[in-house]
Chain A
């Protein structure tokens, strides 16, 4: 026979259980994650066909995946934010958390937890996702932009190791162009492969767009002029004219079509070559961006995940991100990506994902010297405007087509003054 206390406890428990569904907040029936398709099908498939069904089974929440074509994610995020409807969890890139600050949920608590467990986070990612001391997105990984090159053709001209400096690369390119193997570095209006080498080139010669204050335009300098002069020679002596009109697909196509011997790109060229062009894959390797007189730089191209503030159940969305960024899930998903994404968590610096293919290791190494586009300026909306208007890309492109160094710098500096509202 049960005691009075036991009876009371059992009664309370039964009452609580009966009331619980009514008192506790109802779990959402469904959630959607929107991401830009990567060039790595296995990575996208692992998320959509393995991870999301796992979470669905675990929680009973119907998880949907919306894939956006490459280059279209910014537009999609804009529509989600402006219409306050659509997926709850969205991929962000570069400095978007700064652009969409007001419409993204504060994820500081989640980021801190993850940082404690498998961090700390790399320092340079803070610029991209921390806005006014609040984490507005959880960094996933960096899509590095390095040099993909043909080892066999480089050997033919006596270059057995990827050149360390821009001048050495120019010298190699000159020889390769004479042999019918020109370089192909994008100088047109694409979204990544142009900025991927032109900002690092400018920085490596000491040039800067804007100062840390985001107000003082620094572009008009001797250092910028040296970078522009080098770029003109580099283009004329090593490349095809067509690079001036290239967008991001062109260099991949030209490389895999064996039309060029070197280009600046993410690791997708090697990934695709291994799958579809094994002979080309065998003679492809990666090199860090060469050094200039003022150092070596790379573009910071981070992919992150954010929760939009219009999400009906922020707690549920956070719970999903906590689960996704748990080592058990994160580790598997990163591995499926063939090192396409270099994670920003120091515990992953020696992750097994780097072991199967040593040719991806430079992408990990490049993280240390990677900066956001407008560096050292703040990651502001003005930075996005400068990138969207191709100010730097067009400065170099105009010089390559024959305009004077002085003119192209003056035009670009005037544009930057307008964009940054500088005096």
Chain B
């Protein structure tokens, strides 16, 4: 026979006791829903509603300022036959995978360094957070200047060091443009990894390292068999968040290249915006935005299952 914990037990109603707000608040079922309701309402209004409305739109031939006509999956079929859609898909996956790897490795390195004791550590930590704190639109303007072939400080240094004779066209060359975006995204996103992983590192008991050292473990072995297993859940969570954010990255790309040159840097979010807002094809734009969903869903489910198993 199971015994209900005393804390969860609902007090028996006392006959004749008047109904009061205090008594209502003391009921855990009511109180927990009361506490949850602001968050739930927020999610319903700003996440669930736009999401389901997006699905609704994607199944319609819906132009701006006009009534939609239900077309089933026709928008997705049209996309499947559009060469630009597949180019956008390749661009998006390249952008997400490469930036995630860079941010993961760089962020982990940043966290390991920040976990050491050295003079000015707190100041360094504060500075490393700057790229994450500065509004994207503002930092993108700075990067526009850095990547400008004429005014670029990178080109200036390379030319004056005699490495190259004329500046690189960072945003005019298709390959360089994509790699430039990867660099900027990594620069902006790495502190998120760094600071989150640092929090994970600080939960590791020094005794574990001492025990490993007594057993004769090298630095690499200590990292592989002590550090990594302990911070793995944090690592997975932060990667999952980062992948979701990067899939939806818009401002940086829109401001720097607007998907150019010749669609070389268009990703789902920028292309969906162009189709939905500039061309007024709201149904098709929603379909492009939702095309990202299967990949994200698989990723989130896989990572969640992995975490639960762990």
Residues on A close to B: CB < 8 A?
A: 74-75, 78, 81-82, 99-103, 187-190, 240-247, 250, 253-254, 257, 259, 381, 384-385, 387-390, 394, 397-398, 401, 411, 414-415, 418
Q: With CB as the reference atom, state the residue of chain B lying closest to A250.
A: B148
Q: With CB as the reference atom, state the residue of chain A lying closest to B174.
A: A401
Q: How far is the CA of A247 from the CA of B144 in the complex (A)?
A: 11
Q: Shortest Cβ distance from B232 into chain A, in angstroms?
A: 40
Q: With CB as the reference atom, state the residue of chain A lying closest to B281.
A: A385
Q: How far is the CA of A259 from the CA of B151 in the complex (A)?
A: 10
- Asked whether B149 lies within 8 Å of A189 as measured between CB atoms, the reply is no
Q: How far is the CA of A257 from the CA of B151 in the complex (A)?
A: 9
- Tell whether A397 pairs with B262 under 8 Å between CB atoms, given A78-B277, A81-B65: yes
Q: Which residues of B contact A259 (CB under 8 A)?
A: 150
Surface stretch bound by A, among B20-28, B80-88, B128-136, B237-245: B80-88
In chain B between 27 and 75, which residues have their CB closer than 8 angstroms to a CB of chain A?
A: 63-66
Q: Shortest Cβ distance from B260 into chain A, in angstroms?
A: 4
- Asked whether B66 lies within 8 Å of A102 as measured between CB atoms, the reply is yes
28 examples of A-B residue contacts, CB within 8 angstroms: A78-B64, A81-B65, A82-B282, A100-B280, A187-B261, A188-B261, A240-B169, A241-B172, A241-B173, A244-B169, A244-B262, A245-B170, A245-B171, A245-B261, A250-B148, A253-B148, A254-B150, A381-B279, A381-B281, A385-B279, A385-B281, A387-B279, A394-B262, A414-B83, A415-B82, A418-B78, A418-B81, A418-B82
Q: How far is the CA of A418 from the CA of B281 in the complex (A)?
A: 14
Q: How many A-B residue pairs have CB under 8 A?
A: 117
- Asked whether B279 lies within 8 Å of A245 as measured between CB atoms, the reply is no
With an 8 A cutoff between CB atoms, is B177 at the interface?
yes
Q: How far is the CA of A100 from the CA of B259 in the complex (A)?
A: 26
Q: With CB as the reference atom, state the residue of chain A lying closest to B177.
A: A245
- Asked whether A102 lies within 8 Å of B279 as measured between CB atoms, the reply is no
> How big is chain B's contact interface, by range?
35 or more
- Among B81, B149, B174, B280, chain A packs the most CB atoms within 10 A around the CB of B280
- Asked whether A99 lies within 8 Å of B260 as measured between CB atoms, the reply is no
- Asked whether B261 lies within 8 Å of A381 as measured between CB atoms, the reply is no
Candidates B65, B83, B169; contact of A102 at CB < 8 Å:
B65
Q: How far is the CA of A391 from the CA of B63 in the complex (A)?
A: 19
Q: Which residues of A contact B81 (CB under 8 A)?
A: 418
With an 8 A cutoff between CB atoms, is B124 at the interface?
no
- Asked whether A257 lies within 8 Å of B150 as measured between CB atoms, the reply is yes
B contact face: mostly helix, strand, loop, or mixed:
loop
- Asked whether B257 lies within 8 Å of A189 as measured between CB atoms, the reply is yes
- Known contacts A242-B171, A418-B78; 4 further A-B pairs (Cβ under 8 A): A74-B278, A244-B174, A245-B172, A387-B279
Q: Which residues of B contact A188 (CB under 8 A)?
A: 171-172, 257-258, 260-261
Q: How far is the CA of A110 from the CA of B260 in the complex (A)?
A: 42
Q: How far is the CA of A414 from the CA of B81 in the complex (A)?
A: 10
Instruction: List 5 tightest A-B contacts by C-beta distance, closest first.
Output: A189-B260, A245-B171, A388-B279, A388-B278, A242-B172
Q: How far is the CA of A103 from the CA of B261 in the complex (A)?
A: 34
Q: How far is the CA of A259 from the CA of B148 in the complex (A)?
A: 12
Q: With CB as the reference atom, state the residue of chain B lying closest to A254.
A: B150
In chain B between 253 and 277, which residues have their CB closer than 8 angstroms to a CB of chain A?
A: 257-263, 274-275, 277
- Among B63, B174, B177, B262, chain A packs the most CB atoms within 10 A around the CB of B262
Candidates A103, A245, A388, A415; contact of B169 at CB < 8 Å:
A245
- Asked whether A240 lies within 8 Å of B83 as measured between CB atoms, the reply is no
Q: Shortest Cβ distance from A230 into chain B, in angstroms?
A: 18
Q: Shortest Cβ distance from A236 into chain B, in angstroms?
A: 13
- Asked whether B83 lies within 8 Å of A384 as measured between CB atoms, the reply is no
Q: Which residues of B contact A390 (CB under 8 A)?
A: 259-260, 262-263
Q: Which residues of A contact B149 (CB under 8 A)?
A: 240-242
Q: Which residues of B contact A394 (CB under 8 A)?
A: 262-263
Q: Which residues of B contact A381 (CB under 8 A)?
A: 63, 279-281
